[in-house]
C-alpha cells in the first residue's frame, strides 16, 4: 500500500516546495537522513516528537525535567511543521538537537531509529503514526504518549476507525492523557485500558517568568506609551461557509473602540505565517496606523495604533503587557487555542463559542468566572470595551484565571 502511495507523496512534496522554498530545508530529514552530528554509537537516547508550535512549547518543561533527571541521555526533538521546527531550534537550544519528523514510511522511520538509537520515543498530544509506533517497538525502544487529547471534532472519527487506531495504540507502553474525557475517548479509539492514565495538561506547567518579551517590542511600547493594550491572539481564517474572518472582525472591533478608548493599542497576531501579508493589507485598507514586528528594528512608529506580530514564538512574552486578550480560533470553527498563557499572567481572556480543542479548560475556567465567552463576532467589540472600562472586573477575572491555571500544575513531573 505504501509503495502505491509513494508517487502521491512525491507530488505532495513537490507542491510544498513550489509553494514555499523553505520546505526544501530539512527535506532530507523527512526521508530519514539526519546530519552526521546526530549519529549515535550508544543507546539510551530520548526522542521527543512535538508536531508544531503548540506542542513544542507544551513539551519544553518536560524536556527540561528529562535533562535534569537524565543528564547522560541524549535528547532529540522532531517537529512536523516549518514553524514548529524554527521555534524548537530557538527554545530547545542547549537542551536537544532538533530535526524534521520523518514521513510515516517504514524506510524513513527505520533510518531515523538506526541513527538515534532511542530507548524511548515520546509522542506529544495526538500524533498517531502506525509505522513510527510499530518500528519503535521493533527496534527495541519503548513508545509513550504524553499530553494526549482527542477533540470534540475528531472524537467520532477515532471511534469509527477504532479498528485502525487500536492496532497503533497497542504499541504504546503508556498513554498519559490530559483529562478524564480524553481517557474515555482514547478507550473508545482502542487504547489498552491498563496503559492509560490521566496525568494532566503539560501546558499548565508554563512558566511566565521565562516568557521574556523581545527587546524591540519592549522599546516600541515605551515609544508608543499606550493607555491600554488589547492582544488578539492566534487569529484564524474561516473554516467553513458562514464563519467570520477573525482578522477582519478584530480590526472592525478596534475601529469601533478607538474613539471611546483613546490610546488603545491593538496587537494583532495571526496564527499562521502565510497570513501575515493578508493581515497587513486589511490593516492598511482600514486606515489603521500600524507597525510590523519584523521591521521594528528599522522603522520607528511612535504614532502606531496597532502592532502586527508577524513573528513566531514571541506572543507568550507579550501577554504581560495586555489589559484584555481575545483568543482566536474561537469565532471561526477552529476549536480555539490555549488560554493558559495569558491566564498565568492574570489577564482576562475573551473566547468565542468554539473552544472544542480546549473544552475541559474552557469549562473549568467558565465555572470559576475566569473566562469571558461571547456567542458571535458581533459581540467582540462590546466585550472588549466593557473590560477596558472596568479595571476592577478585569483584575478579578484575571485573578481567577491565574488561580485556575496554577492549581493544575504538575503534568511534567508526572510524565
Task: Kindly list the catalytic residues.
Answer: 55
265 in helix, strand or coil?
strand
Q: By the 8 A CB rule, do 34 and 62 touch?
A: no
Among the listed residues 253, 238, 234, the one whose alpha carbon sits nearest the alpha carbon of residue 328: 234
Q: What is the end-to-end Cα distance of the chain in Å, rounded? A: 36
**290 pairs with which residues across the strands?**
306
Rounded Cα–Cα distance for residues 94 and 75 (Å): 10
Rounded Cα–Cα distance for residues 226 and 214 (Å): 17
Q: Which long-range contacts (CB under 8 A, 24 or more apart) does 5-11 make?
A: 6/105, 9/103, 9/105
The residue with cell 472596568 is 390
Cell of 385: 470595551
Rounded Cα–Cα distance for residues 283 and 307 (Å): 10
Q: Residue 155 is inside which H or E element, if any? A: helix 152-160
Burial class (CB in 10 A: 0-12, 13-18, 19+), 302: exposed
Q: By the 8 A CB rule, do 54 and 68 touch?
A: no
Rounded Cα–Cα distance for residues 394 and 365 (Å): 15
Cell of 384: 472588549
Q: By the 8 A CB rule, do 288 and 303 touch?
A: no
From residue 81, alpha-carbon distances to 222, 289, 307 in Å are: 34, 32, 25
User: What's the distance, CA 295 to chain centroid?
Assistant: 24
Amino acid at each position: 500500500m505504501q509503495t502505491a502511495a509513494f508517487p502521491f507523496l512525491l507530488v505532495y512534496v513537490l507542491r510544498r516546495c513550489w509553494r514555499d522554498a523553505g520546505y526544501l530545508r530539512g527535506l532530507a530529514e523527512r526521508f530519514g537522513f539526519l546530519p552526521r552530528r546526530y549519529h549515535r554509537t550508544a543507546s539510551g537516547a530520548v526522542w521527543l516528537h512535538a508536531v508544531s508550535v503548540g506542542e513544542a512549547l507544551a513539551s519544553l518543561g518536560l524536556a527540561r525535567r528529562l535533562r535534569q533527571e537524565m543528564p547522560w541521555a541524549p535528547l532529540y526533538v522532531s517537529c512536523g511543521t516549518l514553524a514548529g521546527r524554527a521555534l524548537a531550534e530557538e527554545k530547545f537550544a542547549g537542551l536537544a538537537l532538533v530535526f524534521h519528523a520523518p514521513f510515516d514510511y517504514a524506510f524513513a522511520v527505520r533510518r531515523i531509529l538506526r541513527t538515534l538509537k532511542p530507548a524511548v520515543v515520546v509522542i506529544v498530544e495526538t500524533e498517531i503514526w502506525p509505522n513510527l509506533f510499530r518500528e519503535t517497538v521493533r527496534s527495541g525502544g519503548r513508545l509513550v504518549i504524553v499530553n494526549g487529547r482527542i477533540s470534540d471534532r475528531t472524537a467520532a472519527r477515532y471511534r469509527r476507525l477504532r479498528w485502525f487506531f487500536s492496532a497503533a495504540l497497542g504499541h504504546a507502553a503508556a498513554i498519559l492523557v490530559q483529562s478524564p474525557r480524553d481517557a474515555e475517548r482514547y478507550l473508545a479509539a482502542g487504547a489498552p485500558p491498563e496503559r492509560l492514565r490521566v496525568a494532566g495538561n503539560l501546558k499548565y506547567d508554563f512558566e511566565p517568568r521565562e516568557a521574556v518579551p523581545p527587546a524591540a517590542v519592549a522599546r516600541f511600547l515605551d515609544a508608543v506609551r499606550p493607555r491600554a493594550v488589547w492582544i488578539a491572539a492566534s487569529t484564524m481564517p474561516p473554516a467553513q461557509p458562514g464563519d467570520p474572518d477573525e482578522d477582519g472582525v478584530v480590526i472592525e472591533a478596534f475601529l469601533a473602540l478607538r474613539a471611546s478608548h483613546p490610546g488603545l493599542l491593538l496587537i494583532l497576531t495571526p496564527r499562521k505565517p502565510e497570513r501575515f501579508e493578508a493581515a497587513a493589507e486589511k490593516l492598511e485598507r482600514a486606515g489603521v496606523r500600524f507597525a510590523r514586528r519584523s521591521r521594528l528594528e528599522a522603522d520607528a512608529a511612535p504614532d502606531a495604533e496597532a502592532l502586527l506580530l508577524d513573528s513566531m514564538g514571541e506572543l507568550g512574552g507579550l501577554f504581560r503587557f495586555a489589559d484584555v486578550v481575545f483568543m482566536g480560533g474561537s469565532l471561526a470553527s477552529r476549536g480555539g487555542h490555549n488560554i493558559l498563557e495569558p491566564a498565568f499572567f492574570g489577564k482576562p481572556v475573551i473566547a468565542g463559542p468554539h473552544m472544542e480543542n480546549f473544552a475541559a479548560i474552557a469549562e473549568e475556567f467558565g465555572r470559576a468566572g475566569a473566562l469571558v465567552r461571547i456567542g458571535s463576532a458581533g459581540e467582540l467589540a462590546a466585550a472588549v470595551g466593557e473590560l477596558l472600562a472596568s479595571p476592577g472586573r478585569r483584575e478579578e477575572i484575571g485573578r481567577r484565571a491565574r488561580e485556575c491555571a496554577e492549581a493544575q500544575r504538575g503534568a511534567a513531573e508526572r510524565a
